[in-house]
Amino acid sequence: MEIKTRLMRFRAPIFIAEFLLFFCMRTLGGVWAHAAIPQTDSGYYISFDKTRIYFEVHGDGQPVLLLHGFMGNGSSWKHTELYRKLLDQGYQVILIDLRGNGKSDHPHQEQAYARDAESRDILGLMDFLKIKRYDLIGYSRGSIIAARVLRNDPRVNKAVIGGMGAAFTDTAWKLPKALYESLIHAPAPDFEGMKNYVRKQNLDSVSLAYMQKQQPFTAAEDLKKIKQPVLLIRGDADSTNGSAKALQALIPHSVYVNVPGDHNGASATKAFADRVLEFLKS
């Protein structure tokens, strides 16, 4: 009742496949603890800096948080086999629109995306929902944020890092800066496909630019401290974002698998869903 009341108070008037970045750029010792909320609910939670973060909760079981990629939102996952199978198999699925995306607020101040803001939003949401233990699944840029959550939240039981290699561990990675500049400045011939997509979908180019400029990096030393089991999963035709095998070498309790598909399509496939569910149940 308390959570329902708070949802009513903050409610207000939801993974599309990312472009290839080179192109356009039930149990934990017995019973899982999760929020006593209706099987389907949605609303806003007010984060640490007063940014409104939109979320949805579907199902009533073992909590799983899904993190969308760049230019996506929480509802993007609804077009995937994974989302459907998680619900069919009794999981509680939590979707979030990361700040600057979807129905969440879109701050136009660069510092609103700095200092692990997205990770802090997620930890705050888990507090708000009173979730004591959960699994975490990210894809592409959502995996970069998932790595930060892994380092910052001991409530994560298992994590899936999809569509990602080791590039985000390198502060010299040039892609985020290039994406930022292409979104803020014109022209940008190498990223015209992305910019056209942003315009066509009426996305917020300023927010997208700042989240790239302030994109968090996770140092190799931090990844080596991760204690949770981690599944690294990637399409066999996906060559973006660095080496996944190099990333596996940095994360102690990790396994790496390939599934059919490229960066755009792999996460929506049955093979992706099957391997993720197999990992969660192991």
pLDDT band at 185 (very low <50, low <70, confident <90, very high): confident
Q: What is the pLDDT of residues 166-181, one digit of tens each?
A: 999 999 999 999 999 9
Q: How many helices and strands (H and E) does the chain possess? A: 10, 8
* Residues sharing a CB contact under 8 Å with residue 192, sequence separation 6 or more, in sequence order: 24
Q: What is the pLDDT of residues 40-58, one digit of tens each?
A: 689 999 999 999 999 999 9
Q: Which residues pair with 136 in a beta bridge?
A: 65, 159
Give DSSP secondary structure letters for 123-140: HHHHHHTT---EEEEEET
Tally of domains within the chain: 1
- Detail the DSSP E strand segments found in 119-276: 134-139, 156-162, 230-235, 254-259
Q: What is the pLDDT of residues 201-235, one digit of tens each?
A: 999 999 999 999 999 999 999 999 999 999 999 99
Burial class (CB in 10 A: 0-12, 13-18, 19+), 252: middle
Q: What is the CATH number of the domain that holds 19?
A: 3.40.50.1820
Cβ proximity of 154 and 127 under 8 Å: no
Write the CA distances from 94 to 78, 115, 259, 264, integer angstroms. Answer: 11, 24, 24, 22
Determine the Cα angle at 45 with ends 103 and 82, to 5°.
60
Write the CA distances from 168 to 24, 73, 140, 216, 218, integer angstroms. Answer: 18, 21, 10, 8, 7
The length of the chain, given as a count of residues = 282
pLDDT for 73 equals 98
- Range of 92's domain? 2-281
pLDDT at 184 over 60: yes
Average pLDDT, the chain: 88
pLDDT at 1 over 80: no
According to DSSP, the β-strands at 230-235 and 254-259 are: parallel
